[in-house]
Amino acid sequence: MNRQTLRDGWAFFVLVTLLAAMVLAGSYLWLRVDLKNEALNEHRRRVNNQLNLWQEQLYDAKWDSVADTSDDVKHLDSYDESRLMADTMTWYVYPDGHSIIEGAAVVGLDGQPRPGKQAAVLNDAGEPLGPADLARLKKDKPWLDNPWLDSYGFVIQAFQDDPQRESLVSPLIQAPGRLVFVTAAPWRDGEGALKGAVVQQQAIGQLFTDVIKPGTQGVSFWLMDAKGTLGAATDPLAEASAKAFSASGALPQAMAEGLRAAQEGKFGAGGGLVQGLGQGTAQLYWRTMEDSFIVAVVENTAGLGAQGQRTLNRFGAIALISLVLLAAAGGAYTLLYLRRENRMLEKAALTRYTGTVSHRVRNSLSVIRGVNEMLQHKLPGDQGPLSSGLVNAEIAIEDIEDTVRELERLSQGQVDLVYDGQVGKASMYRLHPDKKQGGQD
């Protein structure tokens, strides 16, 4: 095969394969950015939606409690105090006694719960829990029948400090075995003098487990109060993030924004930041519930856009397989092309050679025929065998002439040569009759 043809053929194959590879690589890079960003944006939307939901749930939890304590205050003078507290508690407990609220009580000016206090030891009908339910619940919450803090003086103090104050949500307070917070409404006489406060006490761990945790599957979540006390953290990454957030001084700023948002009638403030943690760089999204609590979701930036990356990897694999198949098909085609090219080159060379042979034979025949005709013409009278020999020579010349014409028609592609195994007159080949397109006979 012509070396140049071979080189050109394979160069073309390599070029086409490279171009295809470039197109696929370009698509891959473009999709890499696009998919990752798209997946990231989708992920952020979901995280933000979930945070908004948690923010609202905390807000509802606070204001349900505040509204109930305020309502209780209004009825304190006309109802039995213990019955009032029990009735309030029935709104929060399940039939088995399970409850987010640990207890409701009226606190005196001495900071101590009054005898009408009600712990979560009743069911949703207001009936005392049976010994079995009580024993079961006390396995996890041994403080169940006595959840009270040593003193609620901080509640009284807050309402005394601010006579206009209508409610209180405390920061997280360490109680035996758990963190709690207290919501309260002031109990004042007609002159506005403080007589005490109605309080509800909630365990933040229980609130997290019942309300927030179901939505934290697959994310790192933390919850903190305004003083930086960590109420919940789903994993070490969340814990590290919360500590870093508190240590960075961002907490007071977030709470200030939360207060401003609350004054504008919103649930709270929100934002995000990048944290450098021991586990790597992390993206933090946070929401405050007014200026009381902050909830946040944190995740390693390396894990962001993971779904897009997986899709991208699949595309990359498909692209690679496509490229290999394309290259294989291109290689096979190039081989066939080169083989055909080789045959065409052979045919072209044969055509040229046939033309040369034809030229030479025709000229030689001209000479032989000229001599033959001359001899016949000059031969006086009947010369017997010589005369017939010259006639035979002329027949032979015409036969050669016919063969030359066949070669010429073959070289012009006017006819095909068919092998038919015939052992006959002159050749085992014959011209294919279907391809006769004129020419000379």
Partner 1 sequence: MSLILIVDDEPGVLQTFGDWLESDGYEVASAGSAEEAMAWFRQTNRIPDAALLDIKLPGANGFELADWLSKDFDFNDVIFLTAFFWEDETRQELVARRRPYFEKPLKFTREVLPFLRRYISEGQA
**List of residues contacting partner 1 (CB under 8 A):** 355, 358-359, 362-371, 373-374, 376-377, 397, 401, 405, 408-409, 412, 439-440
Q: Whole-angstrom Cα distance, residue 386 to residue 400? A: 21
CB of residue 390 to partner 1, shortest distance in Å? 12
CB of residue 413 to partner 1, shortest distance in Å? 11
CB of residue 353 to partner 1, shortest distance in Å? 14
Q: Identify residue 294 by its one-letter amino acid code.
A: I
Looking up tokens 């930041």 gives: 273
CB of residue 408 to partner 1, shortest distance in Å? 4
Which is closer to partner 1, CB of 342 or CB of 376?
376
Say how many C-beta atoms besides its own lie within 10 A of residue 301's C-beta. Answer: 13
DSSP codes, 176-226: TTEEEEEEEEEEE-TT--EEEEEEEEEEHHHHIIIIIGGG-TTSEEEEEET
Which is closer to partner 1, CB of 225 or CB of 408?
408
Strand partners for 87:
none
Which is closer to partner 1, CB of 128 or CB of 413?
413
CB of residue 389 to partner 1, shortest distance in Å? 17
Which is closer to partner 1, CB of 136 or CB of 369?
369
- Torsion (CA) 139, 140, 145, 147 in degrees, nearest 10: 150
Which is closer to partner 1, CB of 34 or CB of 402?
402
**Kind of pairing between the strands at 293-300 and 280-289:** antiparallel
Which is closer to partner 1, CB of 332 or CB of 374?
374
Looking up tokens 């080159």 gives: 345
CB of residue 380 to partner 1, shortest distance in Å? 14
Say how many C-beta atoms besides its own lie within 10 A of residue 424's C-beta. Answer: 8
φ/ψ of 80, rounded to 5, equals: -70, 130
